[in-house]
Amino acid sequence: MKILITRSSQILTLLLLQTSLIHSQGLTMLKHLKGTRTINGVKVTVTQEGFVDSLYYCGDDTGPYFAGNDYSRSCCQTGSYIFTFSQPIKEVYLNISALSTSDSYDEEAQIFVNGVHYKLTNAGEDSGCEPMAIISEDGNLRPCNGCTGSGSDRIKIEGPITTLKVSCVINLGQPQGMVFGVYMGKPIENYDNTLVNYTATFGENASGRELLIESSQLEHAIISLKNKNGYTIPIHYRSIELNRIVIDASDLAKGEYLLEINLNDEIEKQKLFIN
């Protein structure tokens, strides 16, 4: 009984400390599972991939995002939540829990920022609820060795962030998935974005980094890409389709870029970031 009381006091202390830090840094906890909501003047769109559901775990500060599991289907397969921000965000903090591994099952958390794999360098802080997770050589968050439940709080993801994808990757068996919470930081000020008729995102495949542009208005459009100094970067196309264009971005360095799409002298612009 004394152990339980001590453990409860520790969790309560950590929750109070975390709440104080959240308010002091202007963070906002995201809670919608799909669709678009305006939060602090930014439109935040949530979409889902694979096996996902909703759950809170280790208190109400970790959730409602449940990835790698779906109560309506037979467990378990890889699942992701994708968060798209209409204006770049300075930073995001994640609370991740319920990661597990054994000889018969295994899973890990993988993070993607602006379409590119984000390698974690810091595992965050002890949640006080379960053993702390660890970082793999590939920069992913993994359960501690032999742990049937582990996680971390306040995992900082550096911006600028226009898209954030959080995935629970099932490597073996049926580990039941992970639960996570997303705390959105403040938007970057003085950001000008007029891109409304197109979607543009960075991604990665076996050929390296690529820029994917999709729209029903791509035919006859003129596309240009500039670095932050205004220099126009030569474009090498991987594929050109009626509503979809893929540009080779494997040689682009980390930094800020400006995409311009000109259709009948109407120019739409979007800042893109490689972290």
- 213-244 burial code (b ≥16 CB/10 A, e <16): bebeebeebebebeeeeeeeeeeeebeeeeee
Vertex 225, ends 165 and 117: CA angle to 5°? 20
Q: What share of the chain is helix, strand, coil (3-state, %, to 5)?
A: 10, 50, 40
CA dihedral 188, 190, 191, 193 (to 10 degrees): 150
Per-position DSSP letters for 74-114, written without gaps between them: SS---EEEEEEEEEEEEEEEEEEEEE-B-SS-EEEEEEEET
Contact assessment for residue 261 and residue 268, using Cβ atoms and an 8 Å cutoff: yes
The mean per-residue pLDDT over the stretch 52-64 comes to 93
Q: pLDDT, tens digit, for every residue of 220-270?
A: 899 999 999 999 999 999 999 988 999 999 999 989 999 999 988 889 999
The counts of H helices and E strands in the chain are 1, 19
Is-above-0.75 flag for pTM? yes
Q: 25-184 has which fold?
A: Jelly Rolls (2.60.120)
Per-position DSSP letters for 141-201, written without gaps between them: EEPPTT-SSEEEEEEEEEEEEEEEEEEEEEEES----EEEEEEE-PBPSS------S-EEE
The answer to whether 25-184 and 199-274 have equal CATH topology is no
Contact assessment for residue 57 and residue 179, using Cβ atoms and an 8 Å cutoff: yes
Q: What is the DSSP letter of 232?
A: B
Q: Please give the mean pLDDT across all residues of the chain.
A: 88
Contact assessment for residue 14 and residue 61, using Cβ atoms and an 8 Å cutoff: no
- Which amino acid belongs to residue 15? L
Contact assessment for residue 241 and residue 230, using Cβ atoms and an 8 Å cutoff: no
- List Cβ neighbours of 26 (8 Å cut-off, separation of 6 or more): 185, 186
Which among 164, 55, 71 is positioned nearest to 109, based on CA atoms?
164
pLDDT at 2 over 70: no
The mean per-residue pLDDT over the stretch 135-161 comes to 94
Cα–Cα distance for residue pair 75/175, rounded to 1 Å = 9
Q: pLDDT, tens digit, for every residue of 109-134?
A: 999 998 889 999 999 999 889 999 99
Cα–Cα distance for residue pair 174/270, rounded to 1 Å = 41
Q: How confident is the model at residue 22 (pLDDT cuts 50, 70, 90)?
A: low
Above pLDDT 90, what percent of the chain? Answer: 67
Cα–Cα distance for residue pair 140/101, rounded to 1 Å = 14
Q: 199-274 has which fold?
A: Immunoglobulin-like (2.60.40)
For the chain, what are the domain ranges?
Answer: 25-184, 199-274
